[in-house]
């Protein structure tokens, strides 16, 4: 059958398949203090997620209350240098990479107060502009790396009923993602703010059974990060092993 003989798709059917749409009441618009007109803010998926949380009987608290700090560093002019003179610099796109590719290195000496952009192992990282809501944890391998201002940092409390692994797992879940993405704003580039991230509701364990469940979730997430670091090191060792196979006098012609 030629292209000219293909049946024409009904425009309404195409829109139904490609565009998500829903209706809301005018009183709902008036109830919001921000008077927002972006559809994602009123997505029924968010209301359903919050309804599920409230019906669960779990104790809910804003993320800002159960963490030590949630922040986005200021933008800074980056001065890139060779690896031996700099710190690895994480971009937003690296957050969900198994092994960050195309890493650049920022100067340790040329930037005043470079410590403001450093991340630490155990912090929860969330992409907060462009593609919003990708969640990861800073592993031991990333400890002390610098990171872009496009990555929101969540610093867990040292002793808390909501440890880092649990926070990371919750924000990665459908209920966590629904809340994060409902906060998106921006006419051109999607973004979320520190305050919006702090307002995300998270279940806080109060009974021994709930605390054990949260501890198990956190442990599983931490184990996944350790396994990831081990896998990366093994991959790096295997690549280095190929180089070691080549006799030294020939290898230096390639690895200058």
Using CA atoms, how far apart are residues 115 and 218, in angstroms rounded to an integer? 27
Using CA atoms, how far apart are residues 256 and 252, in angstroms rounded to an integer? 6
For 123, what's the count of Cα atoms within 13 Å in the CB-facing half-sphere? 26
- Six-digit token pair at 133? 């809501």
pLDDT tens, 115-127?
Answer: 889 999 999 999 9
Using CA atoms, how far apart are residues 238 and 245, in angstroms rounded to an integer? 11
Provide the percentage of residues in the chain whose pLDDT is more than 90.
43
Question: Dihedral (C-alpha) 164, 76, 96, 115: value to the nearest 10 degrees?
Answer: -40
Q: Is residue 6 part of a domain?
A: no
Confidence class of residue 2 from pLDDT cuts 50, 70 and 90? Answer: very low
pLDDT tens, 81-99?
Answer: 998 888 999 988 888 787 8
CATH code for the domain in which residue 123 is found = 3.90.220.20
pTM above 0.75, yes or no: yes
Q: Is residue 256 part of a domain?
A: no
Q: Is residue 133 part of a domain?
A: yes
- Six-digit token pair at 35? 């008077």
Number of domains the chain is built from:
1
Using CA atoms, how far apart are residues 132 and 117, in angstroms rounded to an integer? 19
Going by C-alpha positions, the residue among 177, 170, 159, 168 that lies closest to residue 68 is 159
Burial of 138 (0-12, 13-18, 19+ CB in 10 A): buried
Q: Is residue 56 part of a domain?
A: yes
Is the Cα dihedral 75, 80, 86, 90 positive or negative?
positive
* Domain limits for position 116: 19-245
The pLDDT of residue 194 is 92
The pLDDT of residue 15 is 46
């Amino acid at each position: 059958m030629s292209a000219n003989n293909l049946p024409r798709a009904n425009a309404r059917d195409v829109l139904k398949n490609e565009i998500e749409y829903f209706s809301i009441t005018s009183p709902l618009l008036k109830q919001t203090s921000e008077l927002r007109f972006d559809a994602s803010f009123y997505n029924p998926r968010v209301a359903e997620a919050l309804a599920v949380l409230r019906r669960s009987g779990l104790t809910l608290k804003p993320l800002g209350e159960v963490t030590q700090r949630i922040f986005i560093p200021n933008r800074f002019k980056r001065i890139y240098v060779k690896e031996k003179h700099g710190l690895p610099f994480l971009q937003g796109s690296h957050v969900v990479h198994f092994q960050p590719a195309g890493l650049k290195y920022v100067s340790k000496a040329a930037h005043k107060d470079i410590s403001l952009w450093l991340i630490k192992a155990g912090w929860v990282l969330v992409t907060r502009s462009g593609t919003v809501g990708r969640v990861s944890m800073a592993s031991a391998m990333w400890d002390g790396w610098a990171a872009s201002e496009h990555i929101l940092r969540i610093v867990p409390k040292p002793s808390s009923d909501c440890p880092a692994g649990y926070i990371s797992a919750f924000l990665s879940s459908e209920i966590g993602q629904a809340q994060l993405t409902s906060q998106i704003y921006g006419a051109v580039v999607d973004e979320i703010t520190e305050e919006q991230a702090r307002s995300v509701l998270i279940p806080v364990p109060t009974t021994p059974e709930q605390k054990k469940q949260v501890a198990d979730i956190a442990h599983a997430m931490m184990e996944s990060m350790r396994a990831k670091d081990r896998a990366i090191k093994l991959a790096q060792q295997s690549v280095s092993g190929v180089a070691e196979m080549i006799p030294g006098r020939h290898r230096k012609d390639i690895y200058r």
